[in-house]
Amino acid sequence: MVQIGYTMMTEQAGPRELVAHVVGAERAGFDFSVTSDHYFPWLESQGHASYAWSVLGAAAQATERIPLMTYVTCPTTRYHPAVVAQKAATMQLLSEGRFRLGLGSGENLNEHVVGGGWPAAHVRLARLEEAVEIIRFLFAGENVNHHGAHFDVENAQLWDLPDAPPPIGIAVSGDRSCELAGHHADLVIATEPKPELIAAFDGHGGEGKPKVGQLPICYDPDRDAAIARAHDQFRWFGSGWPVNSELPGPAAFEGATQFVRTEDVAGSIPCGDDVQAVVEAVRPYVDAGFTEVALVQIGGDHQEPYLEWAEHKLLPALREL
């Protein structure tokens, strides 16, 4: 049975609201939760971008059962990998073992703020691989001195370590990232239900490990209102990773998506209150081999009715997949 997750999307709600929403998701019966880690929203209409790690710490204290996960953190630019290791170890302690560290090579949208430029994709992946190795050494309790191609670590050691380190997930979008994930990750992360990604991950050592996908939906009893909201806040989603990872800010996403029509969004994102439409949108992930799917309800102000609908109608239907 595929597990169904809830997404705390930091781009569309403030920090206190995000914590309240994940408390509601736990109550509604979601199997796990994930949290985006952004410095900017994709579009100005989303309107938020709080610090994900503070939100996660508060969520760990406000919830009791639901697993927490970054989806995803870039440990190479805004954050140094030694600092990410410390944050993740602390989160594992605060959550009493409910945390997973999802990592990715990042987006220009968020990483440009520290002024280091935005390298080519192959350099970003090389940085990610080195960062994961540093994090693993620190999770093992080692005193780390590292002078690599991309990072220096001087006499680093974690003083508060959980009994079991957080599992590490790596986001993939192509062959090279699947190879990296297969060799270094405890689970794989993807935002598209592509069987070839799962096959490549398995082929590089990922067989039997969790596969976590993500799917945006827009619940609203008024389908036209749902479509309008999805177009307003989520029309960037269909641009694909090669585009989304490169654009530098919300204004660039506004320009890149100015010709996306409402019917384009309605054709790619389940909108309204049709449970079966969501079930059919989740099915390709299941068929591709994903073991978990995190749903994103579009609209920070529309989480409470969504959670009630999910508890009583959506989750029971998805349990039958």
pLDDT (tens digit per residue) in 24-69: 999 999 999 999 999 999 999 999 999 999 999 999 999 999 999 9
- Supply the pLDDT for residue 242: 79
Question: Residue 253 above 80 pLDDT?
Answer: yes
- Supply the pLDDT for residue 141: 98
3-state secondary structure the chain: CCEEEEEECCCCCCHHHHHHHHHHHHHHCCCEEEECCCCCCCCCCCCCCCCHHHHHHHHHHHCCCCCEEECCECCCCCCCHHHHHHHHHHHHHHCCCCEEEEECCCCHHHHHHHCCCCCCHHHHHHHHHHHHHHHHHHHCCCCEEEECCCCEEEEECCCCCCCCCCCEEEECCCHHHHHHHHHHCCEEEECCCCHHHHHHHHHHHHCCCCEEEEEEEEECCCHHHHHHHHHHHHHHHHHCHHHHCCCCCHHHHHHHCCCCCHHHHHHHCCEECCHHHHHHHHHHHHHHCCCEEEEEECCHHHHHHHHHHHHHHHHHHHCCC
Task: Assess contact for 134 and 153: CB atoms under 8 A.
Answer: yes
**Dihedrals φ, ψ of 198, to 5°?**
-65, -40
Question: Residue 307 above 80 pLDDT?
Answer: yes
- Supply the pLDDT for residue 262: 97
What percent of the chain has a predicted confidence (pLDDT) above 70?
100
* Average pLDDT over all residues of the chain: 97
- Supply the pLDDT for residue 240: 78
- Supply the pLDDT for residue 134: 98
Amino acid type, 18: L
pLDDT in tens, 192-216: 999 999 999 999 999 999 999 999 9
**Dihedrals φ, ψ of 204, to 5°?**
-105, 20
In the residue annotation, 204 being an active-site residue is answered as no
Question: Residue 239 above 90 pLDDT?
Answer: no
- Supply the pLDDT for residue 27: 98
Q: Which of 217, 212, 206, 214 is nearest to 290 (CA)?
A: 212
- Supply the pLDDT for residue 76: 98
In the residue annotation, 38 being an active-site residue is answered as yes
Task: Assess contact for 85 and 138: CB atoms under 8 A.
Answer: yes
Token couple for 107: 């987006």
Question: Residue 241 above 80 pLDDT?
Answer: no
Catalytic hit among 21, 38, 204, 231:
38
- Supply the pLDDT for residue 217: 98
What percent of the chain has a predicted confidence (pLDDT) above 90?
97
- Supply the pLDDT for residue 238: 83
Q: Which helix (H) or strand (E) holds 3?
A: strand 3-8
Task: Assess contact for 92 and 99: CB atoms under 8 A.
Answer: yes
- Supply the pLDDT for residue 66: 98
Catalytic hit among 11, 17, 26, 107:
107
Question: Residue 263 above 80 pLDDT?
Answer: yes
- Supply the pLDDT for residue 189: 98
* Local confidence band at 227 (pLDDT 50, 70, 90 cut-offs): very high
- Supply the pLDDT for residue 75: 98
- Supply the pLDDT for residue 208: 97
| Range scoring the smallest mean pLDDT among 11-20, 242-251, 280-289 | 242-251
